[in-house]
Amino acid sequence: MTFASLEFGSLLLITFLCYYFLPQRGRMILLIAASYVFYCYWNPVYGLLIFASTVLDYFVALKISRASRKKTKKRYLLASIIGNLGMLGYFKYTDFALESLKALLGPLGQNLPQPFELILPLGISFYTFQTMSYAIDVYRGNKNAEDDFLLVALYVCFFPQLVAGPIEKAQYLMAQLARKQPFTYENMETGIRLISWGLFKKCVVGDRLALAASGAYTNPEMYDTGVLAFSAAAMFVVVYLDFSAYSEIARGTASLFGIQLSRNFNFPHAATNIAEYWRRWHMSMSRWVQDYLFRPLGGFNARKPLIYSRTMLITMGLVGLWHGAQWTFVLWGLLNGVSLICYHMLYLHILRRYKKSRLLKSIVWICGSWLFSMTIRILISILFFSPDIKSAGIFFDRLCLHPDSSGFDESFVILGAFILCIFWMFHFAHEYVEKRGGITLFSPITRGAMYTLLFFIILFGAVEQADPFIYFQF
C-alpha cells in the first residue's frame, strides 16, 4: 500500500476517526493493527518478518537490561545484530553475493547455486536499522528496556514511518507512543498540510518529471548530450522530491495521531558543499550512521587523516550498499566518501584559515561553490539511477567525455526548466515560510484558500497511477 493511493487514504481515515475515541491501550492496538494491514496489504507473509524482528529485540533488550555482566550484555546485543542483519543480508544481499562471486570466479563459479531471485521485503532496511538501534541504545544505557511488548511492537511497525523512515530513536518515539496524545486542531492542520505538500511534490511534480527524465537512464546510448544533461539534473531532483515527499507524508500522518516525527530533510539542494549536503539530506539516516557506525569505527580525527579517510570510505561504502545490493550503489557511496574526504581536507588545510575573509563570504564564492558541489553531486548521482556500471559508464561518456549534441532538442531543456522553476518557486516559498514561524504567519482565510488550491492541484495534476516511492526498494 503506497501513500499515494485511495487504499491508504481509506485506512488513514478509518484509523484517524477511531483513534481519539479509544483509551491509550486501545489506541496502541489500533495503530499496530493499522500498521500490519498497511504492511501486509503488499505481502501478508512478510508481516512475519516484522513480528520476528519485534520479538527478537523485545527479548534481547530485556535480557541486556537484566544482565549484570558486560560480556553477557554484549552476547545478547550480538544476537540482536546477527538476527537483524542476518535477515537483511539474506533477503537483500544473497543474490547479489552469489552473482558477484560467480562473476569473480568465472568458469570456477559454475558450480555455485543459481541466484534465489528473492523478493526484497518492503522497507526491510529501515525497520531493521530502527529495531537494532533500540537494542544498541539499551546496551549503551541510553534507554531503559521496555517491558510493554505492545509499545515495542508499535515502535517497530508504526505505519507512517515503517517502510522508508524517518529512522527514529527509541527514546524519542517510544516516549511519544506511550503517552496519550490529546486531539488538537494544530496537529490536524499540520498533518493535512504536510500530507498535501508531500502528495504535491510526489504526484504532481516528481512523477511527471521522472516520466520525462528516467528513460535516458535505461538506454543512454540512444540519447544526445542535451537530453542526458537534463535527465541527470532532473532525476537528481526527482529523488529528492520523491523521498522528501514520503518523509513529509509520514510526518503529516503521524501528526494526525499527535506524534511528531523528526525532519528528514533541511533543503539539501541549498547546500554549498558536500559535507553540508549530507547534514541536510536524509538526516535521520545520517544521524544513525554517525552514532552507530562512523563514530564507533573511529569518527572524525583531524590529526589522523588516514584513519579518518579509511573510516569515511568504509562508512560511505556501507551506506551505498545499504541503498541497494548493486555495485553501482557501492561505487556511489565510495565516490561520495571520496568527495567528503577531499572537502574535509580542503577545509582543514585551506578554507578554515580564510573563513572570515571577504572572498569566502562573497556572493560569487557562495554561488560558485554551490554550482561546483551541485555538479559533482549530480555526476555522482548518475550511478544511483543507472541499472549497471556499464550503463553509467556510457551515460558519463556521452555526457562528459564524448558529448554529442547533433540531435540536441532544446524543448527538453525548456520543459525541464519550466517544471523545475515552478517547483523551486513553490519550494523556496515553503522553506521561507517554515523558517519564519510556519504557516501560522498567514491568516486563516489565506491558509484555507491555499489548502483548497493545493487539493485541487493534486486532484487534477497528479499522475493517474503514482510510481512506488524510490526508497521503498531499499
Partner 1 sequence: MIVKNLSRLIRVRNPTSSTKRALLWSAVFLVLFSSIFLIVVTHWIDTKSDLQRNNLFRRGWVEFINSTAEHQPDETLVIIVSNSQGYGGEVEDDATYASRLEQLFAENDQKKLRVLNWSIYGGHIVEMGILAAAAKRLEPDLFFYIENPSRFHSRLLRYKTGKGRSIGIASDIGFLLWYSEIRDSIPKRFLAPFFRPIDFFEIALAHIFKPYRYRELLLSELTVPEPIKPFDKRGRLGLWHQKPISREKLSRQLRQNEKMAKEGRPVVKPEDIGWDLVSDFFRAADGMTGEKYFIQMPLHSLAHKQNDAITKYFAQIAEESGFKVSDFTQNIPDEEYISLTHLNEAGHQRMAARLAELIKR
Active-site annotation, residues? 323
Q: Compute the least distance from the CB of residue 37 to partner 1, in Å.
A: 13
Examine residue 108 and tell whether it contacts partner 1 (CB under 8 A). no
Give me the amino acid identity at 4: A
Q: Compute the least distance from the CB of residue 188 to partner 1, in Å.
A: 7
Alpha carbon of residue 346 to chain centroid: 28
Decide whether 188 or 307 has the Cβ nearer to partner 1. Answer: 188
Q: Compute the least distance from the CB of residue 233 to partner 1, in Å.
A: 14
Per CB under 8 A, which region of 28-36, 147-155, 396-404, 411-419 contacts partner 1?
A: 411-419
Examine residue 414 and tell whether it contacts partner 1 (CB under 8 A). yes
Decide whether 221 or 431 has the Cβ nearer to partner 1. Answer: 221
Examine residue 402 and tell whether it contacts partner 1 (CB under 8 A). no
Examine residue 443 and tell whether it contacts partner 1 (CB under 8 A). yes
Per CB under 8 A, which region of 273-281, 326-334, 347-355, 441-449 contacts partner 1?
A: 441-449
- Using CB under 8 A as the binding rule, the residues of this chain from 4 to 23 that contact partner 1 are 6-7, 10
Per CB under 8 A, which region of 20-28, 55-63, 81-89, 188-196 contacts partner 1?
A: 188-196
Residue of 68, 107, 113, 185 that binds partner 1 (CB under 8 A): 185
Examine residue 412 and tell whether it contacts partner 1 (CB under 8 A). yes
Examine residue 406 and tell whether it contacts partner 1 (CB under 8 A). no
Residue bearing cell 484509523 = 15
- Using CB under 8 A as the binding rule, the residues of this chain from 27 to 66 that contact partner 1 are none
Examine residue 227 and tell whether it contacts partner 1 (CB under 8 A). yes
Size of the site for partner 1 (CB under 8 A): 40
Residue of 90, 300, 428, 456 that binds partner 1 (CB under 8 A): 456
Examine residue 445 and tell whether it contacts partner 1 (CB under 8 A). yes
Examine residue 411 and tell whether it contacts partner 1 (CB under 8 A). yes
> Is residue 441 a contact partner of residue 433, using CB atoms and an 8 Å limit?
yes
Per CB under 8 A, which region of 21-29, 242-250, 339-347, 442-450 contacts partner 1?
A: 442-450
Examine residue 473 and tell whether it contacts partner 1 (CB under 8 A). no
Among residues 77, 75, 46, the alpha carbon closest in space to that of 61 is found at 77
**How would you write the chain as a 3-class SS string?**
CCCCCHHHHHHHHHHHHHHCCCCHHHHHHHHHHHHHHHHHCCCHHHHHHHHHHHHHHHHHHHHHHHCCCHHHHHHHHHHHHHHHHHHHHHHHHHHHHHHHHHHHHHHHHHHCCCCCCCCCCCCHHHHHHHHHHHHHHHHHCCCCCCCCHHHHHHHHHCHHHCCCCCCCCHHHHHHHHHCCCCCCHHHHHHHHHHHHHHHHHHHHHHHHHHHHHCHHHHCHHHCCHHHHHHHHHHHHHHHHHHHHHHHHHHHHHHHHCCCCCCCCCCCHHHCCCHHHHHHHCCHHHHHHHHHHHHHHHCCCCCCCHHHHHHHHHHHHHHHHHHHCCCHHHHHHHHHHHHHHHHHHHHHHHHHCCCCCCHHHHCHHHHHHHHHHHHHHHHHHHHHHHCCCHHHHHHHHHHHHHCCCCCCCCHHHHHHHHHHHHHHHHHHHHHHHHHHCCHHHHCCHHHHHHHHHHHHHHHHHHCCCCCCCCHHHHC
Q: Compute the least distance from the CB of residue 388 to partner 1, in Å.
A: 12
Helix axes 124-140, 70-88, angle to 10 degrees: 180
Residue of 99, 148, 189, 397 that binds partner 1 (CB under 8 A): 189
Q: What count of other Cβ atoms lies within 10 Å of the Cβ of residue 453?
A: 11
Examine residue 68 and tell whether it contacts partner 1 (CB under 8 A). no
Q: Compute the least distance from the CB of residue 109 to partner 1, in Å.
A: 14
Helix axes 225-256, 185-199, angle to 10 degrees: 160
Decide whether 378 or 415 has the Cβ nearer to partner 1. Answer: 415
CA distance 61 to 420: 47
Q: Compute the least distance from the CB of residue 311 to partner 1, in Å.
A: 40
Decide whether 142 or 465 has the Cβ nearer to partner 1. Answer: 465
Alpha carbon of residue 152 to chain centroid: 23
Examine residue 447 and tell whether it contacts partner 1 (CB under 8 A). yes
Per CB under 8 A, which region of 19-27, 101-109, 335-343, 404-412 contacts partner 1?
A: 404-412
Residue of 22, 313, 314, 415 that binds partner 1 (CB under 8 A): 415
Per CB under 8 A, which region of 168-176, 353-361, 428-436, 452-460 contacts partner 1?
A: 452-460
Decide whether 193 or 377 has the Cβ nearer to partner 1. Answer: 193
Q: What count of other Cβ atoms lies within 10 Å of the Cβ of residue 368?
A: 12
Residue of 215, 298, 305, 468 that binds partner 1 (CB under 8 A): 215
Q: For binding to partner 1 (CB under 8 A), which residues are involved? A: 6-7, 10, 184-186, 188-189, 192, 211-213, 215-216, 219, 221-222, 227, 409, 411-412, 414-415, 440, 443-445, 447-449, 451-453, 455-456, 459-460, 463-465
